[in-house]
Structure 1
């Protein structure tokens, strides 16, 4: 089973909302759409599902052109971030609802519902109604409905966004197993880069209604093709600064200089955009050859075992992320250390031209 998009676009009030998009999505892994709110993830999913009209292009499912088919005729399932269940129905009937609409025999419905309920640990709740369930159980019910239907494509639109942290972690770990071996194309939309990395598979990075890069998730993380892609795939935000290479020296601003690492030795002299993720900017030297930066601390945060500091460097806001608790003082100058091995370099057109050895 494959789901192919051939130059599909969407217009809203005469304006292009989704730019021409061509992708091939396959079974056997998660296909992740990663982008900030408003990037176009939900719109693209609705177009694939037949819920939003397509201005141009084609949607092909397993060789069949379904561009003009209704959602019901595409045999797909859609799970939203909101708990969409029928409040007057039991959990059993919620899971069984698309099977009943399809006219399936009662015995087969019984078997499919019970199988899905067992997978999602819902068997004891089958006679309850949605208002008697926790948020996690309600979302499990929606997932069970998608599994029982045995759709050709399953669209998960930020399905864990409204769950608490613990439930998100549990379901996130289970999701790849839930859909493994079922033969469906699974498309998962998220705004969290960490979630994309945990799910693996292939990822399409979305920005401003366009897929800016698509491919194996780990490969895109290690080598974003453009500065735009690097920005999408970074949380906290990636740090960016203009640098100039002259001979064997790299310079940032007026005071920061370092010897060009071997990985960038072949770069032509000139000006580049340096981008470095926050975990390669630390409050203490993390490796030989780190470059000292001095910045004014603006905001500090402690999350679990990690500390982050937002600081001002050459009139630009930067972020440092490191393990442990560090004695930052708001408004004070503090040393930070840049690891050149973690840097990307982008040319004037925004494309990747070089990178360090441990990004």
Structure 2
């Protein structure tokens, strides 16, 4: 099924919830709507589902205009952050309900398979009220998967689950999605989830669609500072710098010798060379900063402000000679607050954005 949003927007009173945008999620694939809270993900999904009508523009399904059709007249499955189940049905009956409506065979086996993949196979005889919130959410997710609708909309379906289970289910969902022909739209605030699910990613920010494409392409080549900020966890470090004849000069005086283009179409100086001293922005992902130096590295000198252990990584917040930065260091480390620290990065790992915040240079991808 090909869903297309053609110039849609959404206003509520004097507020604009969605600015004019067009989007065609890839048919039969996963499209992740990535953005912070209030980015517009749920508003966009409600328009896709037919729960809300856009203030302008059209919603097309296989080139047929369904803008005025309600959700009752669309074959859509949707899972919200707030789970919705039939309270008087057992878990098995909830999951089986769409299968029965379609007159499927081997319903019990299909229910068991879905329940096992979502780690609720042992609760099939229970009522939803007897389950935890996370378990009830998985029941709602299983029922949506059982519907096997041509369009599946999943609005942060794992947000209420504990970290370990969330990680396990992300992998399960990837294989479940791959086994279906449905067009799947999945909303999340977490860049790692967008990368893990693969497929395509649409980056939203404050009601604007900033970039859409294959997830790895958007991650590796963010079109703007706003996209790079949204598609990095922790957020990318940004430093104001100057364009020089040799490359990029940081506030510390260090120069990054990078092969920057002479001009950028649509950038701050379209069609012409960048003058010496032009303002630009350097972006460094936290994972690009290291404790050990390599040949040709740039050193950042500063003091530790905070160290956080997250799983097998340590996030180090440091004031430095180019400004405040965050480093994602592999392993569990202890750092004293205010202790001096030196971090290193390879110049080629830097992103560079022009004065209009558009991408000018990105690190080469490893194949």
Q: Same fold (TM over 0.5)?
A: yes
Residues 266, 325 of structure 1: CA spacing in aligned structure 2 closer, same or farther, 3 A cutoff?
farther
Q: Measure the CA separation in 2 of the matches of 1:296 and 1:202.
A: 39
Deviation at 1:299, TM superposition (A): 1.1
Deviation at 1:14, TM superposition (A): 2.2
Aligned 8 A contact 2:8 2:57 in 1: yes
Tell me the residue number matched to 1:221.
Answer: 219
CA RMSD after TM alignment: 2.2
Deviations 1:30-53 (A, max 9, x none): 100001111111111111111123
The aligned length equals: 351
Aligned 8 A contact 2:236 2:284 in 1: yes
* Local SS of the residue matching 1:242: strand
Residues 271, 124 of structure 1: CA spacing in aligned structure 2 closer, same or farther, 3 A cutoff?
closer
Deviation at 1:98, TM superposition (A): 4.8
Deviation at 1:231, TM superposition (A): 0.6
Aligned 8 A contact 1:31 1:203 in 2: yes
Q: Measure the CA separation in 2 of the matches of 1:166 and 1:174.
A: 13
Q: Measure the CA separation in 2 of the matches of 1:240 and 1:228.
A: 11
Tell me the residue number matched to 1:298.
Answer: 305
Identify the range of structure 1 (317-326 vs 73-82) with the bigger mean alpha-carbon deviation.
Answer: 317-326
Q: Measure the CA separation in 1 of the matches of 2:54 and 2:344.
A: 49
Residues 114, 27 of structure 1: CA spacing in aligned structure 2 closer, same or farther, 3 A cutoff?
farther
Structure 2: gaps of 5 or more residues: 264-273
Q: Measure the CA separation in 2 of the matches of 1:249 and 1:9.
A: 41
Q: Measure the CA separation in 2 of the matches of 1:54 and 1:120.
A: 36
Deviation at 1:257, TM superposition (A): 0.8
Tell me the residue number matched to 2:360.
Answer: 353
Matches within 5 A, 1:1-359: 1-98=1-98, 104=101, 108=103, 111-112=106-107, 114-121=109-116, 124-248=122-246, 250-253=248-251, 255-261=252-258, 263-264=259-260, 268=274, 269=276, 270-285=278-293, 287-313=294-320, 316-357=323-364
Deviations 1:88-136 (A, max 9, x none): 2212332244567xxx37xx25644641442332555333211233445
Deviation at 1:327, TM superposition (A): 4.1
Deviations 1:225-282 (A, max 9, x none): 11111011011010001111322253211x3313513x33757443211011011122
Deviation at 1:7, TM superposition (A): 0.9
Q: Measure the CA separation in 1 of the matches of 2:362 and 2:178.
A: 35
* Local SS of the residue matching 1:204: strand
Q: Measure the CA separation in 2 of the matches of 1:318 and 1:124.
A: 47
Aligned 8 A contact 1:295 1:312 in 2: yes
Aligned 8 A contact 1:81 1:159 in 2: yes
Aligned 8 A contact 1:9 1:18 in 2: yes
TM-score of the aligned structures, taking structure 2 as reference length: 0.88
TM-score of the aligned structures, taking structure 1 as reference length: 0.90
Q: Measure the CA separation in 2 of the matches of 1:85 and 1:174.
A: 21
